[in-house]
Structure formats: structure tokens, C-alpha cells
Structure 1
Amino acid sequence: MGKQYRGKALWKLPSRGRGTCPICKAQRIKVLYDITLEDGSKIKVCKRCQHKKVDTLPMVN
């Protein structure tokens, strides 16, 4: 993949893939990673929170 195409898919996402992470509450950060909660619903989280265990997460909206 050439360098000019890196990250091009982010431009098609809403807000270019940025938002507020529901776990750590970091704002204007890329929320690109899906995690599945205990009830089966999926949420998008940031890079720092993608490997957190589901049972240790605080209650998310």
C-alpha cells in the first residue's frame, strides 16, 4: 500500500473516526475498535481501551 492511501478510509467515517471514548472519556480521539459487552452489544473504543477486560469496565451508556 502506498503512503498516499494510508488512512484514506477514515475520511469516509462520521467525524473521520473521532469522538469520545465511552470508557476513558478521552475527547477528540479515534474510536475505531469494537469491543463486545456482556449483554452482547458492541461499542467503539479508543486504542488504549481496546484490550480492557469486559468485566472490569464501568457501566457504559
Structure 2
Amino acid sequence: MAKSKRGRAIWNLPSHGRGTCPVCKATRIKLLYTRTASDGKSVKVCKRCSAAPVSRLDEATAEIKAVESPKPVMSR
């Protein structure tokens, strides 16, 4: 018989667990693996990047920080 419960947990996630991997920039890929960078920030990555070295995770978290914290706008 078919296994009807397989993959059921990701149905409750936004976009069914899919997105853009911050490490390899692959789009519309399942982000199911949580990795922790050296600064302690956890990032969801794809299956291919789940075995990536910590240095690549650090680069990805640095890019995420740069995007999340916009530069202050100088007002006159």
C-alpha cells in the first residue's frame, strides 16, 4: 500500500517548505535542513548545502544580515 503520511509535515509550512537556499541561491527548492553558523544564527538550507562547510554558511548569514538591516537614509 502507498504511504499516505509521507511528507505530510511540510504541508503545514509556508510554501510547503520551499524557498531560495541562502547558500547556493537555488530557487523553489525544499529548505528542510537547519544549519548553525559560527555566530550562532540558524539557517534553513537545501539538501545539497546541508553538508556545506561552515565558511559558506557564514557568508550566507552575512548577506542575510546586510539585507535585513537597511542602510540609514540621510534626511535633510
Matched, 1:9 2:9: yes
- Show structure 2 runs of 5+ residues with no match: 65-76
Map Cα deviations across residues 4-27 of structure 1 (whole Å, 9 max, x no partner).
110011100111000000000000
Map Cα deviations across residues 13-59 of structure 1 (whole Å, 9 max, x no partner).
1110000000000000000101100100000000000011102x061
Counting helix residues as a fraction of each chain, which structure ranks higher?
Answer: 2
Secondary structure of the structure 1 residue equivalent to 2:11: helix
Identity, % of aligned positions:
54
2:35 corresponds in structure 1 to 35
Q: Larger relative CO (CA 8 A, sep 6+): 1 or 2? A: 1
- Show structure 1 runs of 5+ residues with no match: none
1:54 corresponds in structure 2 to 54
Secondary structure of the structure 2 residue equivalent to 1:40: coil
Give 1 or 2 for the bigger CA radius of gyration.
2
Please give the root-mean-square deviation of Cα atoms over the aligned residues, in Å: 1.2
1:19 corresponds in structure 2 to 19
Secondary structure of the structure 2 residue equivalent to 1:16: helix
Give the residue type in structure 1 aligned to 2:26. Answer: A
